[in-house]
Amino acid sequence: MRIVRAEKRFGARCAALVACLALVIVSCSTTSEPTTEISTTPTQSALNSIDPAAFQDAVEGAAEELLVPGAVVLVHTPQGSFTASVGTTQLGTQSPPAADTHYRIASNTKTLTAALTVLLAQDGKLRFDDPVSDYVPDVPNGNNITIDQLLKMRSGLYNYTSAPELAATMDADPAKAWTPQEALAIAFSHPPDFPPGTSYEYNNTNYVLLGLVAEKVGGRPLAEQFQDRLLGPLGLQQTSLPAADDTAIPDPYSHGYMYGGSAYALVDEPYPPDIQAAARAGTLQPIDYTNQNPSYATAAGGAISTADDMATWMQALVSGKVLNSDYQQQWLQSLQAEDPSAPDGQQYGYGISYQRFGPNASMYYHGGELPGFNSFMGHDSDNDVTLVIWTNLTLSPEGKTTANALLPTVLDQIYAGLSLQPAAPTTTR
């Protein structure tokens, strides 16, 4: 079994979380169906006793191998909380990151957008089988694309972040403020990839549309609804969706870096050998993408947060503190295998991925990637484990998504009885 990426790169692969990870489970069987009841009794035998010094050393060694300037790994278990902080928030300085350091969470924003959509359904203001055309005009085949299909990445619409013209514009004008309509115009100028509901494809166009649906139904800007319905009630004071013309990150914050142009984060384009060699040799330095305007991502990936806040958010979302019991069950039961031929593999539902990776362990998770940052967040309700990883380098020189590449090392520290082996690099991130 493996946890596969739930966070393809923010463009062409913004739904995959762990392309570089294979989990080989020792002497265990797996189940193909997601858990629909949240366990409240930790299975202590599934967990290691975490040694803080060994935890720090393991994360530090793995991050150095990836050439990550800075990273934070935050783990909550029944033993307590553990934080490994590596490197610096800004190249050329000694400024170590921490659990309260702000970073761009990229597609982890989708968990907020999906939760708000489900809350609006809970309010009776929309239904999952409503066509998107009821709320957003001029969507190609919008009469046949449902809210459910948008949430589960099954609309078939073209993914606008795969378009070369998006990356070219971002590189030419990094401060450009994008509207959702401009992003959708790119998507709608390309033919759809498949008929609605017939396949799965991680696709940012779906969540830009859901942001517009939420604003139409909720009658207020998305950022205000996030604050009033999700962030405020949970005390997430360090999480925000910035205005379209706001390129700043609140203090304390990390800079974000990547080798090469924006396309490397948006589409499945590997680094050429000369970039890989120069980065490894130290003769090529990564570009600072900290203040590239993230408004092109909007409801699909525009938010800012901290490891502390994201850990609180994931635990609350999975354990039922956000939705009522009926809609929590619908949220859990929305999961559907991405690949019908692999029912034991990764599943994607209403803004969340799920995979069981041991007889007593599974994880609901998501991740985020955009130029400058890579991240993973998950909650294992079987063992009451919450995990957040973020890095300030999008890709290693070899093209590994850095937070995902750290995941085998981190899980090996948390769980007992797992044999973790890195998979060969994949070209379908």
Q: Indicate whether 270 belongs to any domain.
A: yes
Measured distance CA(256)–CA(291) in Å, rounded: 8
Residue 212 placed within a domain: yes
pTM: 0.91
Asked if residue 428 belongs to a domain, the reply is: no
> Distance (Å, rounded) from C-alpha 161 to C-alpha 141?
20
Which pLDDT value is given to residue 242? 98
Among 35-49, 85-99, 276-290, 310-324, the least confident range: 35-49
Tens of pLDDT, residues 35-58: 334 444 445 579 999 999 999 999
216 belongs to a structural domain? yes
Which comes out higher in pLDDT, residue 208 or 24? 208
Domain ranges, residue 37: 21-422
For residues 347-371, give the mean pLDDT: 92
The confidence score (pLDDT) of residue 2 equals: 36
- Rounded CA-CA distance 295/311 in Å is 24
Residue 11 has pLDDT above 60, yes or no: no
Identify the CATH number of the domain in which residue 152 sits. Answer: 3.40.710.10
Structure tokens at 389: 């990883």
Question: Nearest 10 degrees: CA dihedral of 71, 75, 79, 85?
Answer: 10
**Has residue 390 been placed in a domain?**
yes
Asked if residue 429 belongs to a domain, the reply is: no
Grade residue 255 by pLDDT with cuts at 50, 70 and 90.
Answer: very high
- Omega cis (within 30) before 69: no
Domain tally, the chain = 1
Q: How confident is the model at residue 360 (pLDDT cuts 50, 70, 90)?
A: confident
